[in-house]
Structure 1
């Protein structure tokens, strides 16, 4: 669905309700990242994926990179998508960073590849889709995808998948071929869930 159509369809939703759903969406993403994906060396795409890679290489918490790397995209989003989008997105990123920090000490709830791929990807996609549906974004590549989807026939999920292919290729050299394949499979589940959750 095009972002501007989605935005029109949800214009009536109050700010408190938007914040509540974005809070829940960001928390789902943090759960997916910390309790399923990261500790199994499975990455997400976009700025989140780059943040996971940098966190792995430097041992600095992923939340720091999420805030740092997303900042330029917020300025891009502000220019085209407005004040409300930026405020809701900043709120979502802060919640995501907080919960990734809070959940960091906890072990993965499963090391089964199927559970990691389908549950992790499903929670990730549902969380991201919820945030987009209620007017925000958790990742700079989502901002680009939202802008491009309004000017093309591609969905947000398809554009995000295209942007992220090179990140999964990079994961081969950092985590290994098996983990990169798991990451790609997880993101495929996530992006299908994103498109489903914003219909």
Structure 2
């Protein structure tokens, strides 16, 4: 249990710092329920972490019915991730970098956080949990499923916000998806 909490704490911190320090200042989105939560924040000012937790409820219930193991890990991951986003919110705007640098650094931090959690069968919640379940049933890599779902969310955000800067979000999800794919595909070294 301590190892699981350490992994969730590390992953959630990476995701929260990536979002608050590098993604949020430019009003970008990163896909998944994090992306939908960011979109709701930009449109109506809703709290990102709280919306993230609330949006996860239907997926939690679906996971509970289909696979309780993923449900429990998903609830833990989503509640801690959502809480960490709110905790680290004051970081928003404290670092001033060009948009491309923020996109790359933020995506790397988020990608490492998500990848480490997924590698240990812990979902940060939301679409990642759904992607884990789909990957389990279809044998398609979880990173590929995540990128596909995220692209739909970003294109919806582009349509609603009509801000061409959101195209940078496609780079964000590509980096996150690539890192999640690499981290979840890498075989553990077996020591004899």
Alpha-carbon RMSD: 1.7
Decide whether aligned partners of structure 1 residues 43 and 124 sit closer, same or farther in structure 2, where only a CA change above 3 A counts: same
Q: What residue is the counterpart of 1:142 in the other structure?
A: 128
Q: What residue is the counterpart of 1:93 in the other structure?
A: 78
User: CA shift at 1:185, angstroms?
Assistant: 0.5
User: CA shift at 1:153, angstroms?
Assistant: 4.5
- Give a deviation string over 1:90-111, Cα, whole Å, max 9, x none: 2222222222112222224233
Q: Is the 8 A contact 1:88 1:135 kept in 2?
A: yes
Q: What residue is the counterpart of 1:181 in the other structure?
A: 167
Alignment of 1:38 onto 2:24: yes
Q: Is the 8 A contact 1:116 1:186 kept in 2?
A: no
How many aligned positions are there? Answer: 184
How far apart are the structure 1 equivalents of 2:48 and 2:9?
18
Name stretches of at least 5 consecutive residues in structure 2 with no aligned partner.
187-192
Superposed counterparts of 1:1-199, under 5 Å:
15-82=1-68, 84-106=69-91, 107-198=93-184, 199=186
Name stretches of at least 5 consecutive residues in structure 1 with no aligned partner.
1-14
Q: What residue is the counterpart of 1:12 in the other structure?
A: none
TM-score by length of 2: 0.87
